């Protein structure tokens, strides 16, 4: 991994783009589109510019490093499942029964010495160039502005290194940073995250908090930064375990934080616990803008870098994106750790269009009544898994969780109202659907039971056109309809509406059709296509708060429309992240992207 570009050329079909391109919208839009394609490639932009600020940057921008599963696996140098097995073996380590057992155990323990990061006494390659405070200018870095309505430019692949007030704990977290000025950055560590917890310690003590933000180096650092390790465990231990080689750290120049010697750029500075500034909006990985909110500010003391640094960045927005592949590896590697809390868990899957924390499917062996419900509560109570909004548990006889069609059939053929649990808990700071921030509805479905054995004798299936026509007689706001999974016991009817009032009223009006509807899903017509099941899952999982938006009479109904005062919702409802049409047209005309109407609709680009 010494020369990342060479490595990406040989292992990942790196695409090099020499055309001068703007860090505002152009570069991010190309990366956004590339990673949605099958066999997408990492991209190196050699001539980033900023037309508005009249800047030609001296360093290239590298994007989509985790472009697909194959590259991701190569970055790890082994299959994520193999790492999971390694972790499982460590967790289950037993005293050896015989001589060979002792030898195996000794070699495993010997290898463990490689997990601990090593603190070096000398400087690192990341410190070849040192820019003193007086000359710090964040405008020299090709920081991207991804979306038209972003509040500015954001560092999106920053490895944020912090330590606890007493210095006993170190943390690496990946948090975005908004460029506020030439010398200050907005520090977007959300309240549930480890660095935010350290920040509280500094605030209580009234002390400035040192922070070093690294960019680049071994891409595994980036993955480790987003890995949801428990509080107090330094993510670079996981780096050592995976690489079987200690992370080599050097001290920052102006503070006591240690950072990897071989990253490309390090931004060192302090966060003043008394200073907050509005951060955002930012088009986030939910596919929505996160709204403006006050976040801490980092004052930059110095920037250090390699002689020829590379600036790494990612784009977040509507799925699928690079975080799909990072998330896939995380999901695999964390299975054994999850099993320590839920031993009968066989597997789990967080589909990318559920943006990870909005939907989880889990396969388990049930041993007693209420077992699946017990696991729901366990999930909702453990670390970052507690952000999960919708959890569906299936039995050990269920098909592959990634087989979307088969698993949906399995669930719908077992869905009974009495096995649905709706409760409340903490939710991701990015969630926009609940009436207040940070807490909201949770939906758990226990589909571990036997299938339903007979169809509802009162159910009368109707064609889409006929059902739509009958519905429109009852309520003219319904403009489109598509039924899914009509060969199961619980077909899903998706309707698109031109919403003017609470959907409670609409659901009540549809009572006369209750014999032809089992599960009704309502979405807004202006932002959804009822034929696009991929984006519908994304929309519904994002847009609902289960404790407010799920109804059980006269049928199961899910109101996935945008909410407003008519729903008793008084927060601001965020916009979708949409591409800039002029930018897309310009890039298409230059042959830098190649997309058509179907692609635009499939991924909700405009």
Ligand X SMILES: Cc1cc2nc3c(=O)[nH]c(=O)nc-3n(C[C@H](O)[C@H](O)[C@H](O)COP(=O)(O)O)c2cc1C
Q: List residues near ligand X by CB under 6 A.
A: 171, 173-176, 188-190, 193-195, 225-228, 314, 316, 323, 326, 384
Helix (H) or strand (E) holding 270: strand 265-279
| Residue 541 beta carbon to ligand X: minimum distance, rounded to whole angstroms | 18
Tell me whether residue 156 or residue 302 sits nearer to ligand X (CB atom): 156
Neighbouring-strand partners of residue 483: 493
Q: Which residues partner with 282 through β-bridges?
A: 290
Closest distance of CB 323 from ligand X, Å: 4
- Give the Å distances, CA to CA, from 18 to 21, 218, 600: 8, 23, 26
The tokens of 349 are what?
A: 């899957």
| d(C-alpha 103, C-alpha 72), whole Å | 33
Biggest CA–CA distance in the chain, Å, is: 80
Q: Shortest distance, CB of residue 225 to ligand X, whole angstroms? A: 6
Distance CA 579, CA 562 (A): 20
Cβ closer to ligand X: 193 or 442? 193
Smaller CB separation from ligand X, 125 or 331:
331
314 vs 358, which CB is nearer to ligand X? 314
Q: How far is the CB of 532 from ligand X (least distance, A)?
A: 24
Pairing, β 439-447 against β 478-484: unpaired
Q: What 8-state DSSP symbol labels residue 572?
A: P
Minimum distance, C-beta of residue 384 to ligand X, in the bound complex (Å): 6
Say if CB 262 and CB 239 are below 8 A apart.
no
CA angle 503/509/512 to nearest 5° reads 140
Indicate the residue among 127 and 314 with the shorter CB distance to ligand X: 314
CB 263, min distance to ligand X, A? 17
Closest separation in Å from C-beta 59 to ligand X: 20
SS (H, E, C) 236-261: HHHHHHHHCCCCEEEECCCCCCEEEC
Give the nearer residue to ligand X in terms of CB position, either 360 or 478: 360
Between 316 and 523, name the residue whose CB sits nearer to ligand X: 316
Which residue lies nearer to ligand X by CB, 293 or 464? 293
Taking the complex as a whole, the smallest distance from the CB of residue 157 to ligand X amounts, in Å, to: 7
157-to-217, 224, 263, 555 alpha-carbon distances in Å: 11, 12, 12, 45
Q: Which is nearer to ligand X, 196 or 561 (CB)?
A: 196
Query: 200-218 in b/e burial notation, b at 16+ Cβ within 10 A?
Result: ebbbeeeebbbbbbbbbbb
CB of 105 to ligand X, least distance (A): 31
Here the tokens at position 329 are 């590896």
- Helix, strand, coil percentages (3-state) for the chain, rounded to 5, are 35, 25, 40
Closer by beta carbon to ligand X, 282 or else 489: 282
Q: What angle do CA 171, 172, 175 make, to 5 degrees?
A: 120
CB count within 10 Å of CB 381 equals 12
At how many degrees (to 10) do helices 219-226 and 322-339 cross?
60
Contacts of 296 (CB under 8 A, 6+ apart): 186, 187, 189, 199, 271, 272, 273, 275, 276
- CB-neighbour burial class of residue 248 (10 A; exposed 0-12, middle 13-18, buried 19+): middle
Tell me which residue of 578, 582, 583, 598 sits closest to 289, measured CA to CA.
Answer: 578
Neighbouring C-beta atoms of residue 419, cutoff 10 Å: 16
CB of 259 to ligand X, least distance (A): 15
Beta carbon nearer to ligand X, 328 or 393: 328
Give the H or E element holding residue 120.
Answer: none
Quick one: 225 or 269, whose CB is closer to ligand X?
A: 225
Smallest separation, CB 56 to ligand X (Å): 27
Nearer residue to ligand X within complex by CB, 229 or 513: 229
CB of 96 to ligand X, least distance (A): 35
Shortest Å, Cβ 329 to ligand X:
11
**Minimum CB–partner distance for residue 193 and ligand X (Å):** 3
Beta strands in 36-179 (DSSP E): 43-45, 48-50, 55-56, 61-63, 118-119, 129-131, 154-155, 159-163, 170-174, 177-179
CB of 155 or CB of 535, closer to ligand X: 155
How many other CB atoms sit within 10 Å of the CB of residue 498? Answer: 11
């Amino acid at each position: 991994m010494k020369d990342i570009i060479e490595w990406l050329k040989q292992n990942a079909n790196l695409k090099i783009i020499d055309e001068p391109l703007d860090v505002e919208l152009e570069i991010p839009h190309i990366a956004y589109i590339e990673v949605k394609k099958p066999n997408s490639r990492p991209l190196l932009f050699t001539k980033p510019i900023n037309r508005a600020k009249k800047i030609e940057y001296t360093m290239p921008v590298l994007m989509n490093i985790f472009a697909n599963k194959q590259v991701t696996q190569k970055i790890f140098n082994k299959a994520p499942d193999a790492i999971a097995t390694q972790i499982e073996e460590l967790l289950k380590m037993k005293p050896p029964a015989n001589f060979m057992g002792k030898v195996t155990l000794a070699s495993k323990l010997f290898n463990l010495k490689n997990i601990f990061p090593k603190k070096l006494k000398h400087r690192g390659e990341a410190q070849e160039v040192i820019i003193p405070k007086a000359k710090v200018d964040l405008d020299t870095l090709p920081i991207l502005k991804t979306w038209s309505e972003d509040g500015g430019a954001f560092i999106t692949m920053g490895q944020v290194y912090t330590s606890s007030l007493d210095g006993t704990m170190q943390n690496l977290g990946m948090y975005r940073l908004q460029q506020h000025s030439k010398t200050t950055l907005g520090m977007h560590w959300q309240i549930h995250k480890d660095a935010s917890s350290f920040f509280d310690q500094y605030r209580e003590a009234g002390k400035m908090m040192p922070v070093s933000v690294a960019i680049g180096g071994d891409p595994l650092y980036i993955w480790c930064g987003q890995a949801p390790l428990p509080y107090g465990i330094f993510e670079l231990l996981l780096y050592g375990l995976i690489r079987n080689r200690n992370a080599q750290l050097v001290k920052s120049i102006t503070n006591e934080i240690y950072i990897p010697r071989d990253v490309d750029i390090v931004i060192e500075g302090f966060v003043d616990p008394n200073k907050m500034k509005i951060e955002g909006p930012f088009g986030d990985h939910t596919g929505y803008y996160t709204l403006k909110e006050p976040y801490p500010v980092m004052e930059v003391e110095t920037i250090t870098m390699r002689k020829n640094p590379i600036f790494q960045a990612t784009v977040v927005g509507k799925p699928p994106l690079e975080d799909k592949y990072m998330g896939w590896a995380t999901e695999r590697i964390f299975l054994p750790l999850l099993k320590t809390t839920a031993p009968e868990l066989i597997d789990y899957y967080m589909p990318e269009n559920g943006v990870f924390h909005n939907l989880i499917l889990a396969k388990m062996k049930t041993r007693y009544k209420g077992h699946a419900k017990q696991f729901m509560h366990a999930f909702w109570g453990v670390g970052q898994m507690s952000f999960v909004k919708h959890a569906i548990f299936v039995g050990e006889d269920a098909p592959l969780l990634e087989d979307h069609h088969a698993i949906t059939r399995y669930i719908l053929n077992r869905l009974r109202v009495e096995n649905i649990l709706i409760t409340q808990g903490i939710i991701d700071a990015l969630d926009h659907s609940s009436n207040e921030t940070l807490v909201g509805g949770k939906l758990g479905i226990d589909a571990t039971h036997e299938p339903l054995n007979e169809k509802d004798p009162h159910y009368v299936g109707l064609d889409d056109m006929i059902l739509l026509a009958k519905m429109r007689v009852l309520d003219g706001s319904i403009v489109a309809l598509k039924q899914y999974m009509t060969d199961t016991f619980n077909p899903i009817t998706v309707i698109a509406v031109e919403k003017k009032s609470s959907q409670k009223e609409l659901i009540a009006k549809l009572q006369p059709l209750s014999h032809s509807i089992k599960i009704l899903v309502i979405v807004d017509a202006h932002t959804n296509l009822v034929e696009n099941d991929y984006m519908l899952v994304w929309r519904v999982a994002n847009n609902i708060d289960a404790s407010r938006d799920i109804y059980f009479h006269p049928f199961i109904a899910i109101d996935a429309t945008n909410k407003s005062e008519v729903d008793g919702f008084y927060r601001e409802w965020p916009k979708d992240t949409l591409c800039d049409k002029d930018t897309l047209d310009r890039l298409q005309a230059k042959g830098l992207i190649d997309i058509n109407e179907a692609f635009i609709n499939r991924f909700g680009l405009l």
